[in-house]
Amino acid sequence: MTPTASQPAEAALTANALFLTLTLHPGAAALAAFRGFCADLPALVRAVGFRSAEAGLSCVPGIGAGLWERLEMGARPQGLHPFHALAGVHRAPATPGDILLHIRASRPDFCFELATQAMRRLGPAVTVEDETQGFRFFDNRDLLGFVDGTENPGGAALAAAVTVGDEDPPFAGGSYVVVQKYLHDLAKWEAMPVEAQERVIGRRKLSDIEFPASEKAAFAHNVLTNIVDAQGNPLQILRDNMPFGSPARGEFGTYFIGYAREPGRIETMLRNMFIGDPPGNYDRILDVSTAVTGGLFFVPAAAMLQRIGAGESLAAPDPEVEPPPRRDGSLGLGSLKRGD
């Protein structure tokens, strides 16, 4: 796999990302257009990315539950379902989307060109539900001023966190991704003393040092989003969040994108944030950050993406043995990354 087609999940955060959420039109023609796009995507990434391997261009495609049913693959990923909306003190809406394209590069022109080429292929067959251009903000901070991505796993733990394994053999090597677009009320946030902001996040703002457990508020963001299994083992995810915004429109936000080997761990984090743990003990960051989108997608491994493109049912034998999941955490198609 060339550097322009994929990069390891633990690679440094690229300076730019473009997130496209699309709904596929009804009918056989639209479905055929999507299959053709799946078949051509690796070559498309290579064609755009050849200009500079250092740009690190990549694209991770995700497929929603409704579109997966239309593909008639003969099997369904165990964890794939529509995004579950949540309503507590604040709401996490579910919004339309059949296709997610997560495009990343060190330069915005590479993201722009790949998105342009993708829309030339898909444009007549899709409705654009959301397009968001993300960017790196100073030393990997969000627009609230805190470092974002501190707790992502690395090495073998990264692959274990994001890659489907033997629990769902037909889909081993794939992943799940949840996306939400948050808009921030910066005037309200900046009116809070720094000490109050740090209490909401559970970290020091300048140094990014985590509070000792005994000093954390029960509603702190890093308390409610750190979860464990029945044996007390941490259930990790991979976050590749990016700031976005428009000063002219007074729009400031964070695009949350989280990858996991099964979506339940992300859904538990979101329930803790919006409903509370226990109920009512919600994440106070939501007092200044409003979720305006929500979607859940399955990310096929590279070999499966080609089978989708070819219209092959998973009930048929795979003509090529799919390699085991890469131990660097990559899905062999695009880049994943970092933490909260």
DSSP notation for 97-161: -SEEEEEEESSHHHHHHHHHHHHHHHGGGEEEEEEEEEE--TTTB-TTSSB--TT---HHHHHHH
174 found inside a domain:
yes
- Region 289-303: mean pLDDT is 96
Q: Cα separation of 33 and 308, whole Å?
A: 12
User: Domain for residue 181, yes or no?
Assistant: yes
- Which of 148, 240, 277, 283 is an active site residue? 148
Given a cut of 50, is residue 291 above it in pLDDT? yes
Q: Is residue 192 part of a domain?
A: yes
User: Count of domains in the chain?
Assistant: 1
Q: What is the pLDDT of residue 218?
A: 95
Q: Please indicate, yes or no, if residue 269 is contained in any of the structural domains.
A: yes
Residue 4 lies in a domain: no
**Residue 10 in domain:** no
* Span of 152-156, 173-177, 325-329 with lowest mean pLDDT: 325-329
Look at residue 242 and tell me if it is in a domain.
yes
Which residues are CB-neighbours of 113 under 8 A, at least 6 positions away?
A: 48
CB within 8 A of 18, min separation 6: which ones?
101, 103, 104, 111, 112, 114, 115, 131, 132, 133, 134
Angle between helical axes of 302-310 and 28-49 (0-180°, round to 10): 140
- The answer to the question of residue 322 being in a domain is no
> Residue 306 pLDDT more than 80?
yes
Range of the domain at 170: 16-310
Task: Give 151's pLDDT tier (boundaries 50, 70, 90).
Answer: confident
Instruction: Please measure the distance between the N-terminal and C-terminal CA atoms of the chain and give it in whole angstroms.
Output: 29
- Measured in whole angstroms, the distance separating CA 285 from the mean position of its chain's CA atoms is 20
Q: Does residue 148 carry a catalytic annotation?
A: yes
| pTM, entire model | 0.90
Report the percentage of the chain scoring pLDDT > 90: 78
